[in-house]
Structures are given as structure tokens and as C-alpha cells.
Amino acid sequence: MSGLKASYLHSLQRVYRRRVHDEVVTSELAKYLTELSSEIRRQIGILIDRDGTITHVIIGDARGIIIPPLDNYPLGRSPLRGLRLVHTHLKEEPLNQDDLTDLSLLRFDLIAAISVRDALPGNIYVAHLMPHGSDKEIEMLPSENFYAFKLNVKSFIHALEEEMERAITFDQKDRRERAILLGVSTRPRYEQEDSVEELKELARSSDVIVLDTIIQRPKEINPKYLMGEGKLKELIINAMSKGATLLIFDQDLSPSQTKAITEFTELKVIDRTQLILDIFARRAHSKDGKVQVELAQLNYRLPRLTGKGTAMSRLMGGIGGRGPGEMKLEVDRRRVREKINLLEKELKSLSAARLQRRHKRVQRGIPIISIIGYTNAGKSTLLNALTNSSVFVEDKMFATLDTSSRRLRFPREREVIITDTVGFIRNLPKDLMAAFRATLEELTDADLLLHIVDGSSPRFEQHIESVENILEELQLSNKPRLLVLNKADKLEKGEAERLAHRYNAVSISALDSSTFQHLLNAMEERVFLPWQTPEKESLAGAVK
């Protein structure tokens, strides 16, 4: 606005008082704008809502205008914004690339440029977005003399939106988030595809509808946006035309990357870590679990709290607005830090209680067998089957977040405690790892780790490797381990045995206890070593 005389500002201010009806813009208003534009030698733009109210008056320079943030006019779930942009062009020229990018990125109802001819309206140029799946993304109407141009905007936009809704395949009433998954990396393609496949599973576990997955392989990673700016814009425009509400990156985004990307779009932008945190947040039920997850979420968010504004509110909201506690937009760093301290204290006292329980268990001298493994491998199913219990089982990732212990009696009156725990995953977010360290510490008491693998997963070898890596990080790699290939029922006949032999494992189907014999023998053998005489055992038992 700098450099404009007060009288011009006043004239511009008066534009707000005008109203538009069914036409793109009234002739009087067009004339007013072209006159002003030609006097100040700058473009002028106005945004008009569906009721014909002028919501914004924007002064540009000779070549363009910059659209301000439209926070009060969110796109929400509608195909179009509900605002149209009408602006002047000082010369007789059609809509340019910037105009069209604004149209696509902001999803205006339509965009119009009116050229200034001798301070009066010359030609009008109009463009609008097309329904998803059309052969072009934008339709440009033939340019015409402003006074000859006729378009009933109201009925036109109504029909266009209807067509757009029809072109979208998902159920409009389904309120879940709709995501585009994005893998951007320079790693080998198969690794990238694998990782995105897993991201899909995670998204499914978080009740997100996956509209599409996109794999980008830039020659090098752009530190600001991961990919080139043009590519990113294209991607966002495409995501919006598909009706997405969320972008999920398979790569972890740094705070500044998230910020840079969200500046382009009002779609929610999250990364793999946030998705996992979100699943954990939904699934945490125990006090322990809740505190650990909330702590992890806050630790993740703290470095990302750089300012206010919509980017931040979107980030804070998480998926569907499930943030920790009631803390919303105006959270400042200090409050987050205080909350973190509080949670850490709480966690400490919880883990003191846990430590006591652990001591008791160890004192009793009953051997402990801990079931570990990749998420969804069948750990809880196995615990249930071995001990006739009913720990929650579901075909989603991270069904279990809390440790549960059960007793298992072998023949000859030998007894062990079996514990089930949270599943592992590759690249376990480090904030989660830190928060769950206390839970995972229970594993140090184990006499044997039963490492369960879903043998039917095409990625089971990577799963084994991820679990081994995490064990190493937890300094548990020297614990005795027994590898168990699960879901043998899903494999071809003989395949399970072959794999078991190759990996020095036992194969089972956790759904069928008649397959447990080998496993039970192997467990007993490992836990009750030959040198452990019955006297010693009963001694241990007497401590109870």
C-alpha cells in the first residue's frame, strides 16, 4: 500500500461497499477498477464470495498481485473455495502463469482479468478449474469484450461444483481424512516402494483413506522442499483436485521443511513420525501409555513451534485435530516445556512403580520370556493362544502399546511368565523410542526373547533386521533369542519348514495351537538349561 495517496486509499476502501450479483463483476465496478488502476498504474484485484460480497481488495504492482492468506475462507472439504478473483491487467494481455497457479493452488471459483483500455474495461479473460479426471486441468473461456461477455456465475459455479463432486470417487459423507502418500528419496527404488507400502499400512491403521501414493526420485534432495518447488506445486494442485485433505510424507520432515511446505498449501502436511505418533495416541489406553505418547508428541512438536498462523494450527492439530490434551493454536513454547517436565515427572513415578513390580517378578525367580517383534506379527495372538488369555488383537499396526504378562505352565510343573509388548517398526521415531524406553526396559529382565516374525510378509527379512537393530539400540542384542516364524498357515505347504530351517527358527501358526509343539520344546529347552536341576528350581519357587 506504500506510496499511495490517501485519496486513492479512500477510493479503494469504497470498493468494499459495492455488491455483485450473478455476473462476474458489474459494469460499474469494472469501470471503477480500471479507472483507478490506470491512475495508480497498478493492478487491482478483488475477491468476491458467493453472496456477491467483496471480501478483499488487493493492490498489486504493474505486473501482478499477491493474494493474502485466506484463513477466514478455508477450502474445507468443498471442491472450490467460494471466492472468485477479479483483477485488472494494465495491458491487453491474457491470464498469465501466475494467475493460473493462483487459480489452481487456491482453488478459486474462477479467475478473471479485465484489461485496462483507455482507463476503461477492455477485454475480459476468464478461467476456471476442471473436474478431476478431465483432459485438462484448467478451462480458459474465449476472451471477449467486457461489455459483450455474459456469464451467470451463480448457476455456473453451482453446476461446476456438482460435476467436480461427481468426478470424485470416494464417499462424500465419509468424514475421514483423505491422504496422498509421498515418498521422496534418492534411495533405491525397491526400498522406497517398500517403505511407502508400509506407510500405506500405517495410514490404514490410523483410519486415513489413501487416495494415491506418489514416488518421487529427485536427482538430489532439495533441502527446502525435498523436491523442486515446481514439482511440489504440481503435486499439491493434483492432490487438491483429487479431493485430498492431507499429505503424508514418508520421509521425516525437519521443522523448517514442514513450515516451507505448509506455506504453499492449506492441506495438512505430516510425516511418517507424526503418523506413527498419531496411531499411538489413538491406541494408548493405560496411564503409562498415554503419558509416554503425549510426551513423545510434545517433544516432536516443540522444535516446530516457531510461530503462529495456520501452518502451525494445522501442524498442532495432527490428523483430524487429535492433538495432545486441549492444547491448541496458542500454545507457546514455555507451556509446552512445562507440560513436558510434568509428564517426565509422572513417567518417572510410573516407572518407579513398574520397577517395583519388575523386582517382585525377578525375585520370585520365575523365568521371564518376552515376546517381541515387528508390529502386526502376531505377538498378542501368540500370547493369548499360549496362555488362554484375551489380550487385544487386531489386524492393524500397533494394536498393543502396553506390556501384559501372563503365566504359562509347562508340563513337569515348570512355570514361566510371558510378556507381550509394543511392536517394533523400521525407523521407529526417536521421540517414541525415548518415551517407550521405560516400557522396553522390561525386556532386560527377560531370560529369553521370543522374536516373532510374520513369515507370510514379503518384507519379513527387513522386519527381522529392523527388530535386530532396535534390540541393539536397547543394548539387548546379547539376550538369548528364539526366532519364531508365524502365520505358517498363509504359506505354501513345506515353505514354512524351509524358511524355519534357513533362519534357524521354529515355525508356527499362532491361530492353531496344534502347531506349538516345537515352539514349546524349544522354549523350555532354552529357559530351563540342562544344568538347572529340579532342586534349584524348587528353591527358586520357594522364594515366592
Ligand X SMILES: Nc1nc2c(ncn2[C@@H]2O[C@H](COP(=O)(O)OP(=O)(O)OP(=O)(O)O)[C@@H](O)[C@H]2O)c(=O)[nH]1
Q: List residues binding ligand X (CB under 6 A).
A: 373, 375-381, 393-395, 397-400, 423, 486-487, 489-490, 509-511
Smallest distance, ligand X to C-beta of residue 374, A: 7
- 47, 106 in Cβ contact below 8 A? no
Smallest distance, Mg ion to C-beta of residue 376, A: 8
Smallest distance, ligand X to C-beta of residue 2, A: 58
Between residues 42 and 379, which has the closer beta carbon with respect to ligand X? 379
Answer yes or no whether residue 216 interacts with Mg ion by CB under 5 A.
no
Q: What are phi and psi of 333, to 5 degrees?
A: -55, -40
Q: Considering only 289-297, 336-344, 380-388, 410-418, which stretch makes contact with Mg ion by CB under 5 A?
A: 380-388
Between residues 114 and 446, which has the closer beta carbon with respect to ligand X? 446
Between residues 315 and 383, which has the closer beta carbon with respect to ligand X? 383
- Distance in angstroms (rounded) separating the CA atoms of residues 521 and 401: 29
- Distance in angstroms (rounded) separating the CA atoms of residues 79 and 132: 10
Smallest distance, ligand X to C-beta of residue 387, A: 13
Instruction: Count other C-beta atoms under 10 Å from residue 472's C-beta.
Output: 11
Residue 351 interface partner, choices Mg ion, ligand X, none, CB cut-off 5-8 Å depending on type: none
Residue 216 interface partner, choices ligand X, Mg ion, none, CB cut-off 5-8 Å depending on type: none
Smallest distance, ligand X to C-beta of residue 202, A: 11
C-beta nearest to ligand X: residue: 423
C-beta nearest to Mg ion: residue: 400
Residue 327 interface partner, choices ligand X, Mg ion, none, CB cut-off 5-8 Å depending on type: none
Stretch (H or E) spanning 420: strand 415-420
- Distance in angstroms (rounded) separating the CA atoms of residues 123 and 12: 22
Smallest distance, ligand X to C-beta of residue 182, A: 25
Query: Rounded to an integer, what is the distance from CA 40 to the centroid of its chain?
Result: 46
Between residues 114 and 399, which has the closer beta carbon with respect to ligand X? 399
Please say whether the dihedral angle defined by the alpha carbons of residues 528, 534, 537 and 541, taken in this order, is positive or negative. positive
Residue 510 interface partner, choices Mg ion, ligand X, none, CB cut-off 5-8 Å depending on type: ligand X
Answer yes or no whether residue 380 interacts with Mg ion by CB under 5 A.
yes
- Distance in angstroms (rounded) separating the CA atoms of residues 329 and 320: 14
Binding-residue total with Mg ion (CB under 5 A): 4
Smallest distance, ligand X to C-beta of residue 438, A: 18
Between residues 312 and 484, which has the closer beta carbon with respect to ligand X? 484
Between residues 192 and 376, which has the closer beta carbon with respect to ligand X? 376
Smallest distance, ligand X to C-beta of residue 329, A: 33
Between residues 115 and 376, which has the closer beta carbon with respect to ligand X? 376
Between residues 243 and 289, which has the closer beta carbon with respect to ligand X? 289
- 228, 218 in Cβ contact below 8 A? yes
In 80-228, where does DSSP find H-type helix?
A: 97-106, 153-167, 189-205
- Distance in angstroms (rounded) separating the CA atoms of residues 518 and 511: 15
With CA atoms as reference, report the closest residue to 382 among 506, 501, 516, 522.
516
Half-sphere CA count of 33, side-chain side, radius 13 A? 32
Between residues 11 and 427, which has the closer beta carbon with respect to ligand X? 427
Instruction: Count other C-beta atoms under 10 Å from residue 154's C-beta.
Output: 15
- Listed in sequence order, the residues at least 6 apart from 460 whose beta carbon sits closer than 8 Å to its beta carbon are 453, 454, 485
Residue 376 interface partner, choices Mg ion, ligand X, none, CB cut-off 5-8 Å depending on type: ligand X
Q: Considering only 52-60, 139-147, 378-386, 406-414, which stretch makes contact with Mg ion by CB under 5 A?
A: 378-386
E strand residue ranges, 294-367: none
Residue 121 interface partner, choices ligand X, Mg ion, none, CB cut-off 5-8 Å depending on type: none
Residues between 152 and 171 that touch Mg ion (CB under 5 A): none
- 416, 369 in Cβ contact below 8 A? yes
CA angle 136/142/146 to nearest 5° reads: 140
Smallest distance, ligand X to C-beta of residue 398, A: 5
Between residues 44 and 449, which has the closer beta carbon with respect to ligand X? 449
Smallest distance, ligand X to C-beta of residue 537, A: 30
Smallest distance, Mg ion to C-beta of residue 375, A: 8
Q: What are phi and psi of 141, to 5 degrees?
A: -75, 150
Smallest distance, ligand X to C-beta of residue 142, A: 58
How long, in residues, is the chain? 544
- Distance in angstroms (rounded) separating the CA atoms of residues 260 and 315: 12
Stretch (H or E) spanning 113: strand 111-117
For the CA atoms of the chain, what is the radius of gyration? 31
Residue with cell 489452481: 104
- 455, 491 in Cβ contact below 8 A? yes
Answer yes or no whether residue 375 interacts with Mg ion by CB under 5 A.
no
Residue 245 interface partner, choices Mg ion, ligand X, none, CB cut-off 5-8 Å depending on type: none
Rule CB under 5 A: choose which of 399, 416, 438, 474 binds Mg ion: 399
Answer yes or no whether residue 37 interacts with Mg ion by CB under 5 A.
no
Between residues 245 and 380, which has the closer beta carbon with respect to ligand X? 380
Residue 283 interface partner, choices Mg ion, ligand X, none, CB cut-off 5-8 Å depending on type: none
Rule CB under 5 A: choose which of 37, 43, 400, 421 binds Mg ion: 400
- 353, 485 in Cβ contact below 8 A? no
Between residues 266 and 420, which has the closer beta carbon with respect to Mg ion? 420
- Distance in angstroms (rounded) separating the CA atoms of residues 303 and 305: 6
Binding site for Mg ion (CB under 5 A): 379-380, 399-400
